[in-house]
A and B are shown apart, each in its own frame.
Chain A
Amino acid sequence: MKALQWQGVNKLAVGQVPDPELRNPGDIIVKVGRTVTCGSDLHLLGGYIPFMEKGDVLGHEFLGEVVEAGPDVRRHRVGDRVVVSSFISCGNCWYCDQKLFSLCDNGNTNPAITETLWGQAPSGCYGYSHAMGGNAGSHAEYIRVPFADVGAFTVPDAVSDERALFASDSASTGWMGADLGGVKPGDVVAVWGAGAVGQMAARAAVLLGADRVIVIDRFDNRLQQVERFVGAETLNYERTDVAGELRERSGGRGPDVCIEAVGMEAHSSGPQFGYDQIKQQLRLQTDRPTAVREAVHACRKGGSVFVLGVYAGFVDKFPLGALMNKGLTMRGAQMHGQRYIPMLLERMARGELTTEHLATHVMPLDQAPEGYRMFKEKEDDCVRAVFIP
């Protein structure tokens, strides 16, 4: 079958790979209908998460049709249209019982790497390096889905492929940031990053009753999407004093909840961007935490900061003093998709959550390397590139 393969740092190619096989009795094979780029893929592409092998298949946000099912699969049959959570979870361990699905104890076949790096191993993810299990990704004609009764969800007839696709990761990740960040009615919420995840976090905050939701980015096309499709306010950090503006819009208190949806390759307009770039190049830090620093400083006393952006290792100049003295609660997580996808599909069916606008570029899988180039360079106002195998 055809698949988009990582060939080295900043090198992608569509090649022929063997078709996936059922390996465990709870597996299904899905014929991929749509699969989409994610900002976190750029960390793999750029070599910032150095656990890729030449030939690895990328992609973790997808939907498709069940074409084969293992003997233990109960919830799905051949022909079902399913959207799949990007993290692989058993559904039976203590973490899954707590609905912390991306922390599943049994979903990562290579726990040694992340256990060594981080002290404990999270679960596995599709197409996201051998640290996350080395699972083949979704930028392919077919994909194996383990623990299918737990991680694959039948898409209601009322929800189109174009909309349901983003329940797989972006919408569920964004919703998690607002939910676990503790957004309540009346809150002021600030979201750093107007990509798909940031937009979905902002939409979740709106739907959870926040009084004001403010999204921060530097790309006007993304901020225009926020205003039109999310119903939130915007700030362009290249033209605005973000900290001052957030104070003003929150009555001098600072936002109650700050959600960071940027990740380890953050940009900023100030001198700290150059500082972080140099530190990263000199290997004195692995990640650039610009947006996290801003969120911690901006957040109101006793407020909450949730880190949705992907980080791999260590950062410098983390404002621990602000965190401690302001009494902040800080959390982060990879996405617990199984917790949110059924609810998100219902909201999508009711029209409360729309995602089609995120797919600014739709193209055949053959053009995926070009799609990633456009996505990385933000060319032609690319927000997300969707591939159809």
Chain B
Amino acid sequence: MSRTKIAFLIAVPLAAGAAVAARRRSRPGAPDNRRHVVTVFRPLAEVESTQLPGSLSEIAGDVRISLSAAPGGRGTEIAVRIPDGSAVTTGEVRRALRETRSLLEAGDVLLPSGPATTVPTLFNRPLQAATSNGREGGLL
């Protein structure tokens, strides 16, 4: 068996699995009652005194947000719970938390490289599906 085929056998299931898992986690589905939390490396007093920036402020009316000091001088924990009946999805919360952390820490949200240099193929599709909303998936 050639090295190309070997690598292909290893690579495709791993990529597809990760892409599907990443995508699945961003789908709206069953009610999500757990809290989604990020730690922002800014003092609690500073975060409390400023308007939460970006997309978190846009969904603030539809979710419950709480702030607390992180231990060990790590900054502020921002927790979001999606109440029953809210139209906000888990993916939107993840994206909002990540963007908010970046805005508070770095003052900006990193955009992907551009213009694109890739071309769509059959094998690219699961990966493109996962990365088209890369900040909405994952475990956060």
Say how far A277's CB is from chain B's closest CB, in angstroms: 9
Closest to B117 in A: A17
Instruction: Judge whether A133 is part of the interface by a CB distance below 8 angstroms.
Output: yes
B51 adjacent to chain A (CB < 8 Å): no
A115 and B138 contacting across the interface, CB-CB below 8 Å: yes
Give complex CA distance A24, B108 in Å: 8
The reply to whether A48 and B115 form a contact with Cβ atoms under 8 Å apart is: no
Q: Which 10 residue pairs across A and B have the least CB separation, nearest first?
A: A112-B137, A50-B11, A47-B7, A110-B134, A115-B138, A50-B15, A55-B118, A90-B106, A112-B138, A112-B22
Known: A21-B115, A93-B106. A106 touches B101 (CB 8 A): yes
Set of chain B residues within 8 Å of A111, measured between Cβ atoms: 98, 134-135, 137-138, 140
Q: How far is the CA of A134 from the CA of B19 in the complex (A)?
A: 14
* CA gap between A312 and B128 in the complex, in Å: 20
Q: How far is the CB of B101 from chain A (nearest CB, A)?
A: 6
- Number of B residues with CB within 8 Å of any CB on chain A: 55
A46 engages B7 (CB within 8 Å): yes
A50 touches B10 (CB 8 A): yes
Contact, CB under 8 Å: B140 / A115? yes
B7 touches A5 (CB 8 A): no
- Of chain B, the residue at the smallest CB distance from A1 is B117
**A221 within 8 Å of B (CB atoms):** no
Most buried by B among A3, A93, A283: A93
Indicate if the CB atoms of B7 and A283 lie closer than 8 Å. Answer: no
Which one of A10, A23, A115, A135 has the highest number of Cβ atoms from chain B below 10 Å of its Cβ? Answer: A115
| B22 lies within 8 A of A280 (CB) | no
Pairwise interchain contact B124-A146, C-beta atoms closer than 8 A: no
Assess whether B50 is interfacial by the CB under 8 Å rule. no
Chain A, residue nearest B73 (CB):
A94
